């Protein structure tokens, strides 16, 4: 059949049709756009991760926290430190994956150690959170300093000789009464800390000693020794008072940190006891 030139059927395009370059250009542009999109996604992923080990990403937040802890210890945040942290986390991830491949996390002893570590970390976090919520005030530390220093009116410089039995103590007293030197007799004392120093206990407040000892010591006058043995849970004592003086008190600033630590321990003990009192344990 012969078609007239006025037929409505479209004629085939010649390969040199002018629209072909436009089509190729559009396809090329689409491929470039997709490649750019994928590279952007990859760049975004790498911005969130410092590395990917065997398909498992290491998030940047983990490295940031690692560096933050090192900064607390005095390490300056430098590019070199960031590189070291990255390598450390990569090395850990490699070893971790191998441990998982061997099934180590499923072992009972491993699970126990992981759980114990988890508990310890959470308890430490709880302690820090409690301290942050209830910070120690300067006034609290000052009040504790005043309380303690008010109890330190007098200091005593005493010596003692510690023996096993009352008869041994009486024998020492008899020798002292005959003129024997206290320092020489003290060499046989059971207290190794003071025996080598002639029984010297250095300057101390009465509250430093157990009650029977402190009462006997305070009853003496300078240069006197006890004429009756003094019994404590440690044995039998013969005591001599060398001197006494008004207490030499430290300055507030010199003991401030020590007092703060002591008060924090006390507060944490009370906090723990309050939790124990509320807990239902069967």
In a domain, 117, yes or no: no
In a domain, 33, yes or no: yes
CA proximity to 250, closest of 138, 156, 148, 141: 148
Range of the domain at 194: 153-246
Domain end residue (candidates: 106, 134, 161): 106
In a domain, 73, yes or no: yes
Domain end residue (candidates: 106, 127, 144): 106
Contacts of 268 (CB under 8 A, 6+ apart): 127, 130, 131
Clarify whether residues 82 and 157 are in a common domain. Answer: no
221-280 confidence digits (pLDDT tens): 999 999 999 999 999 999 999 999 988 888 999 999 999 999 999 999 999 999 999 999
Radius of gyration of the chain (CA): 41
Residues 226, 173 contacting (CB under 8 angstroms): yes
In a domain, 260, yes or no: no
Q: Which pLDDT does position 148 carry in this prediction?
A: 84
**What gap in Å lies between CA 243 and CA 157, rounded to an integer?**
5
Q: Which pLDDT does position 153 carry in this prediction?
A: 80
Q: Which residue has the higher pLDDT, 196 or 152?
A: 196
Q: Which pLDDT does position 124 carry in this prediction?
A: 96
CA 248 to chain centre: 33
115-167 confidence digits (pLDDT tens): 999 999 999 999 999 999 999 999 999 999 998 888 778 999 999 999 999 99
DSSP string, 163-213: ESSHHHHHHHHHHHHTT--HHHHGGG-S-HHHHTTTTEEEEEEGGGS-HHH
In a domain, 8, yes or no: no
**In the predicted model, what is the mean pLDDT of the chain?**
87
Look up the CATH number of the domain holding residue 205.
3.10.50.40
In a domain, 194, yes or no: yes
Domains held by the chain: number: 2
Clarify whether residues 159 and 102 are in a common domain. Answer: no
Quick check: pTM over 0.75? no
Pairing of strands 154-163, 235-246: antiparallel
Contacts of 210 (CB under 8 A, 6+ apart): 232, 233, 234
Q: Which two tokens stand for residue 271?
A: 């906090």
Q: Which pLDDT does position 40 carry in this prediction?
A: 46
């Amino acid at each position: 059949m012969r078609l007239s030139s006025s037929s409505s059927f479209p004629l085939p395009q010649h390969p040199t049709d002018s629209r072909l370059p436009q089509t190729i250009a559009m396809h090329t542009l689409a491929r470039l756009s997709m490649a750019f999109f994928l590279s952007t996604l990859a760049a975004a992923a790498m911005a969130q991760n410092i590395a990917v080990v065997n398909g498992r990403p290491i998030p940047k937040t983990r490295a940031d926290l690692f560096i933050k802890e090192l900064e607390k210890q005095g390490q300056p945040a430098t590019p070199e430190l960031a590189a070291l942290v990255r390598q450390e986390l990569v090395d850990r991830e490699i070893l971790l994956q191998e441990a998982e491949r061997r099934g180590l996390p499923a072992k009972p002893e491993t699970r126990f150690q992981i759980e114990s570590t988890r508990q310890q970390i959470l308890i430490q976090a709880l302690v820090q959170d409690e301290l942050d919520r209830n910070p120690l005030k300067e006034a609290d530390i000052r009040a504790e300093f005043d309380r303690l220093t008010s109890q330190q009116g007098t200091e005593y410089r005493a010596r003692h000789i510690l023996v096993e039995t009352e008869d041994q103590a009486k024998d020492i007293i008899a020798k002292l009464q005959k003129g024997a030197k206290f320092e020489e007799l003290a060499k046989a004392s059971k207290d190794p800390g003071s025996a080598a120093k002639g029984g010297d206990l250095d300057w101390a407040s009465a509250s430093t000693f157990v009650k029977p000892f402190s009462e006997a010591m305070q009853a003496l006058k300078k240069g006197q020794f006890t004429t009756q043995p003094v019994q404590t849970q440690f044995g039998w004592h013969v005591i001599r008072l060398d001197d006494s003086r008004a207490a030499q008190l430290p300055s507030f600033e010199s003991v401030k940190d020590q007092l703060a630590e002591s008060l924090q321990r006390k507060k944490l003990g009370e906090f723990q006891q309050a939790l124990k009192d509320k807990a239902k344990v069967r």
